[in-house]
Amino acid sequence: MNESVDESENRLRQLLRPSVESRGRYEAVGDEDVKMICANLDGVLMGETCVWWKGECNPKGYAQLKRDGKKITVGVLLFHNIVADIGENYGRDIGNKVVVRHKCIHQFGHSLCVNPKHLELGSAKDNTSDAIHRDKTIERPLSEEQVICIRERRESGETLQQIADDIGMSNPGVSRICTGKSYGDFGGPIVRAQSRQSSSTRAAVKLFNSGKSRIEVRQELGLSVAQTRSAYAEHSAIKHGSKRGVDVVSMDIPRRISDLVDQGKSQSFIHTELAGKRSKRALQNLIKLEMESRAPQGKVWNGKLHRYEISVPQRLSDLVDQGKDFEHIYADLQSHRTKGGLYHLYRKEMQSRAPHGKMWNGKKRKYINITQ
């Protein structure tokens, strides 16, 4: 059941928390924000079903609005103002970086849901694990015949918007299907993203593909050293399949890695099996993500030793919760880290628990006022 714009505005004003701390651009929702948001909603906020965004989206497909020249993610703004404070670590490039995650699962378009009831706080690692789990367990709403039809329509020249309007999907969702990012194992023509290469770069890549050397390409096209180097890097990326959207087969590499891990294959076997599909480093990262998604509670994957080990920061945090001092913690974890390394983690953990206006003093082993 949908509401009128006036009903949506009244509901949103009632849901807003009266006191909201400012977190960068994520401040309190003003009256103009309420009108702009409610004019683009399709659904009832804080209901059980998804609330779809009909307005502008960012390049990743997430709902977005502009306020004073700043681009703001709508879902995060509503979550921060209705459900809970997103926290001081939101979006910071640190180990415990906080993100807002979707709890609702869709093969496509879940990023357009802005219902705060379908959002929750979590880590970037949790978000990555969600993506891997979603790709494995989701019940696909489209059949292979439907996917092939969508891809054939796109190849014939129809726009993404035309297809999206016709079948009732989001524009980003159709784009992911047509480029193979969704339903990568289904048939139909894959329409690759338009290249942003210059004409000289495209010409140089063709010559490199024909077997010519850098000097020959540079002399034939009259390129500078920097242009030649850039074109050769483009050629190498295409040749080794590390450029997104170039090798259709490589799009399904994560699922193939998952299948090989299920079969009990070693990392060396996986590297040999998929050599040429991705670079060695890219394969290592994909294997690491897959193994981390399977880690037992309290364990982390050690890529060098090829085994799961205890999560030292998590174990240390648990010991602090139990009231243990540093000597007890060192005795428990000395086989995993050096004393200096453990003390650094211990100090960081204690500082993260500091009450407002206080800081952890390592020498006195207690919290003191920041002014002291």
The mean pLDDT values, 10 residues at a time, for the chain of 372 residues are 70 73 67 81 81 78 78 81 66 60 62 81 71 53 83 83 81 82 78 59 83 86 81 73 42 77 85 77 83 79 79 84 88 86 87 83 81 58
Per-residue confidence (pLDDT) for residue 110, from 0 to 100: 61
**Within-domain flag for 180:** no
The count of structural domains within the chain is 4
Q: Which of 115, 137, 159 is the last residue of a domain?
A: 137
**Within-domain flag for 173:** no
**Within-domain flag for 18:** yes
Per-residue confidence (pLDDT) for residue 250, from 0 to 100: 40
Per-residue confidence (pLDDT) for residue 136, from 0 to 100: 46
Does 82 lie in the same domain as 113?
yes
pTM over 0.85: no
Does 33 lie in the same domain as 133?
yes
Does 129 lie in the same domain as 98?
yes
Domain of 204?
A: 199-239
Distances (CA, A) of 168 to 161, 162, 174: 10, 10, 10
Per-residue confidence (pLDDT) for residue 195, from 0 to 100: 46
Does 131 lie in the same domain as 42?
yes
Does 234 lie in the same domain as 115?
no
Does 321 lie in the same domain as 288?
no
**Within-domain flag for 360:** yes
Per-residue confidence (pLDDT) for residue 133, from 0 to 100: 59
**Within-domain flag for 153:** no
Q: Which of 137, 172, 187 is the last residue of a domain?
A: 137
Does 9 lie in the same domain as 129?
yes
Q: Which residues, 6 or more positions from 293, have their beta carbon under 8 angstroms from its beta carbon?
A: 128, 129, 132, 133
Please check whether residue 276 is in contact with residue 240, taking contact to mean a CB–CB distance below 8 angstroms: yes
CATH of residue 55? 3.90.75
**Within-domain flag for 81:** yes
What whole-number distance in Å separates Cα of residue 123 and Cα of residue 100? 8
**Within-domain flag for 15:** yes
**Within-domain flag for 305:** no
Does 209 lie in the same domain as 106?
no
What whole-number distance in Å separates Cα of residue 98 and Cα of residue 85? 11
Does 101 lie in the same domain as 53?
yes
How many other CB atoms sit within 10 Å of the CB of residue 50? 19
Does 70 lie in the same domain as 128?
yes
Does 234 lie in the same domain as 269?
no
